[in-house]
Amino acid sequence: MEVAITVDDLPANGELPLGKSRMEIAKKMLAIFKKHHIENVYGLKNGKKVKETKNGFAIIREWLDAGHSLGNHTYSHIDLVNESSNDYIADIQKNEALLKKLSLNDYHYFRYPFVSEGNTQEKRDHVRKYLFNNGYKIAPVTVDFFEYEWNDPYIRCLNKNNKQAIAWLKKTYVEQAD
């Protein structure tokens, strides 16, 4: 069996535990990938988050130095439902400049933020036409259990050292993943 693993929203998503940095989290994730021989994970990057996150560029550099690749996840992590297709395409293009500068590999993989292809057929078709005409492959989500819904509650419970709530969150996370 072959499985592709991707990570959305590089270099930052959600709240941080007290005393932890985004760099520490990135290095821990990369160490786990290495330990389990998980190679060439595509990190779907948001350029705005790279620029706004402390050590955002350094985190991306760590990712690339570990042998992983980058893909496009729009510059601002916007939802096509709330944008015109022209504005959405402009946001994809804005992210390309940084991808061209940083990427050693082909960055022409695209993941729709919120796994949303818009709210009209016209938007969907216009964006897809742009993507395909510019050599992009759409990176589908085939396993999704809304794991991000656990992030902020977990951090809140971790910061309060609420062991009972943490145990419940871990249990329900695994149940949902199954």
pLDDT tens digits for 29-76?
999 999 999 999 999 999 999 999 999 999 999 999 999 999 999 999
Which among 2, 54, 46, 52 is positioned nearest to 25, based on CA atoms?
A: 54
**In the prediction, which pLDDT does 1 show?**
74
How far apart CA 28 and CA 118 sit, in angstroms, is 34
* Nearest alpha carbon to residue 56 among 65, 67, 48, 68: 48
> Which residue is listed with tokens 């969907």?
124
Which tens digit of pLDDT belongs to each residue from 137-147? 999 988 888 88
The model's pTM is 0.90
Encoded tokens for 57 = 């560029």
Dihedral class, residue 19 (left if φ above 0, else alpha if ψ from -120 to 50, else beta): left
